[in-house]
Amino acid sequence: MKIPQALIDSLKEVKGFNESTFINTHENEEAPTSIRVNPFKKIDKFNDAEAVIWSEFGKYLPNRPSFTFDPLFHAGTYYVQEASSMYLEHILKKTVDLSQDLKVLDLCAAPGGKSTLIASLLTEDSLLVSNDVIKTRANILSDNLTKWGTMNTVVTNNDPKDFMRLSGFFDVLVIDAPCSGSGLFRKDPEAIKEWSPENVTLCSLRQKRIIGDAWSCLRQGGILIYSTCSYSKAENEEIVDWIEDTFGAEHLCPETKGIGNEVISENSYRFYPDQIKGEGFFIAAFQKKSSEKEVFIRSGKPIKNNNRRTEREIFRNWIEDIDKHTWFEKNDDYFLINPIHEHTISLLQSNFYLRKAGVRMGKLSSKDLIPDHELALSVELSRKVSRVELSLNEAISYLRRDEFSLEEAVKGWSLMTFQDFGLGWAKVLANRVNNYYPKELRILSK
């Protein structure tokens, strides 16, 4: 690996940069492997692994296993995430009262690492809106949040400027901005070929546009968290100065004592792989001082479902406590949501393209539900649903969508599980088993 000399030269005056150890680490040391455990789907598998000290749920692994062939990965019990980026957890805990019910926007959210992290920290009455402007990436984002299993998430597929419509709406705005990617050179050496000073400049301009487009959707007193996986000052400290000068935001410097060797650079945080166990990362936090005309949302109240009694009784067989939930129907699909989010989701539906909202339960046919894959991975799924526990080999076969048979399985819909965690649905018939694991998610490698 050969680090571009132009990058080295640009970092020589940056706080914390040590040229010799920086180059040596990139040329001679492998990137560590880290995962973050899902607190809603607790497993013991990583209990003895080394902790990521700035993350309650982060763990380092001694080597990189084949996650593709671990059914627990497909069940959403953990997420493979670079350790430095988990520092978002510490920043959120130090700048936001996470005991409150919040509306959070993760603006550039795909593939979903930071969104699943945020979802792990919020109250159940909070709402996380995760957005990505690129459709294919929004689909991956949706799949990863489906695995996480929580109901209080919405995935949108919109340009950042569209969020101007929600003036003063969000309590927290997270922008993990598209960048030149120099902080991930160890994980993706091919990215070196794409790096150039010109590309850094283009990324800096794009980052300003994204922030400028979304700024008005943050309420007065709300928190902006900005991050990149770049080392370049033009994408980091210079963006910080631009935010302060342009919007009059207060640059915050959360307490960090005793949690790592991150470098504090002008009240922001830099991670160098020669100084911490992780990759290159930059993160900064701000509080908004200016006011915006806020969008008015009626407080959500539980819907009386008396006129939908038949639907409720059907859903009662599938949902743990249907009387505490509500739902809406669109294009024959039924979506389970928290009643308190009803009006907010209705507002989002009328202004944005929603890829996911709450938990897609499925379609009604006659007097039963044809369950959707999202329901299989949801933490709201009832324990009364028929389940079939699979061995490792059976689980891999199921995840490949291979044909397989089951002994002593109850006819009808059954949840396929591994170590009691849902993987997806199968329908047991008299002479065969129909595998309903989504084709687009199946394991292709051997």
| CATH number of the domain within which 417 lies | 3.10.450.720
- Co-location of 361 and 422 in the same domain: no
111 marked as part of a ligand binding site: yes
- Given 367, 384, 401, the domain boundary residue is 384
203 belongs to the catalytic site: no
16 marked as part of a ligand binding site: no
Residue 433: CB atoms within 10 Å: 18
- Co-location of 354 and 394 in the same domain: no
- Co-location of 221 and 311 in the same domain: no
- Co-location of 315 and 431 in the same domain: no
Per-residue pLDDT of the chain (446 residues; tens, 9 = 90+): 789 999 999 999 999 999 999 999 999 999 999 999 999 999 999 999 999 999 999 999 999 999 999 999 999 999 999 999 999 999 999 999 999 999 999 999 999 999 999 999 999 999 999 999 999 999 999 999 999 999 999 999 999 999 999 999 999 999 999 999 999 999 988 889 999 999 999 999 999 999 999 999 999 999 999 999 999 999 999 999 999 999 999 999 988 877 888 999 888 999 999 999 999 999 999 999 988 888 877 655 555 544 488 899 999 999 999 999 999 999 999 999 999 999 999 999 999 999 999 999 999 988 899 999 999 999 999 999 999 999 999 999 999 999 878 877 788 999 999 999 999 999 988 888 899 999 999 999 87
User: So what's the pLDDT on residue 306?
Assistant: 44
CA distances from 411 to 33, 373, 431 (A): 42, 19, 10
Residues contacting 202, CB < 8 A, separation 6+: none
- Co-location of 334 and 189 in the same domain: no
Q: Does residue 331 fall inside a structural domain?
A: yes
Q: Does residue 15 fall inside a structural domain?
A: yes
Q: Does residue 221 fall inside a structural domain?
A: yes
Q: Does residue 281 fall inside a structural domain?
A: yes
Domain that holds residue 250: 5-287
109 marked as part of a ligand binding site: yes
- Given 255, 287, 319, the domain boundary residue is 287
114 marked as part of a ligand binding site: yes
Which CATH number goes with the domain that contains 361?
3.10.450
Return d(Cα 226, Cα 264) in angstroms, integer.
Answer: 15
101 marked as part of a ligand binding site: no
Give how many domains the chain has, as a whole number: 3
Nearest residue to 152 via CA among 40, 42, 57: 40
- Co-location of 159 and 204 in the same domain: yes
- Given 287, 313, 345, the domain boundary residue is 287
Residues contacting 223, CB < 8 A, separation 6+: 95, 96, 171, 172, 173, 252, 285, 286, 287, 288
Q: Which of 203, 217, 229, 253 is catalytic?
A: 229
Tokens representing 207 are 């980052």
Q: Does residue 441 fall inside a structural domain?
A: yes
65 marked as part of a ligand binding site: no
Q: Does residue 342 fall inside a structural domain?
A: yes
- Co-location of 373 and 399 in the same domain: no
Report the SS3 class of residue 349.
helix
282 φ/ψ angles, rounded to the nearest 5 degrees: -140, 140
Q: Which residue has the tokens 């309420």?
A: 219
Could you tell me how far CA 40 lies from the centroid of its own chain? 14
395 marked as part of a ligand binding site: no
- Co-location of 348 and 406 in the same domain: no
Provide the whole-model pTM: 0.95
Q: Does residue 292 fall inside a structural domain?
A: no
Q: Are strands 263-265 and 250-252 parallel, antiparallel or unpaired?
A: unpaired
Q: Does residue 294 fall inside a structural domain?
A: no
- Co-location of 226 and 337 in the same domain: no
4 marked as part of a ligand binding site: no
Question: Contact, 412 vs 428, CB < 8 A?
Answer: yes
- Co-location of 111 and 223 in the same domain: yes
- Co-location of 374 and 267 in the same domain: no
Which CATH number goes with the domain that contains 105?
3.40.50.150
- Co-location of 123 and 225 in the same domain: yes
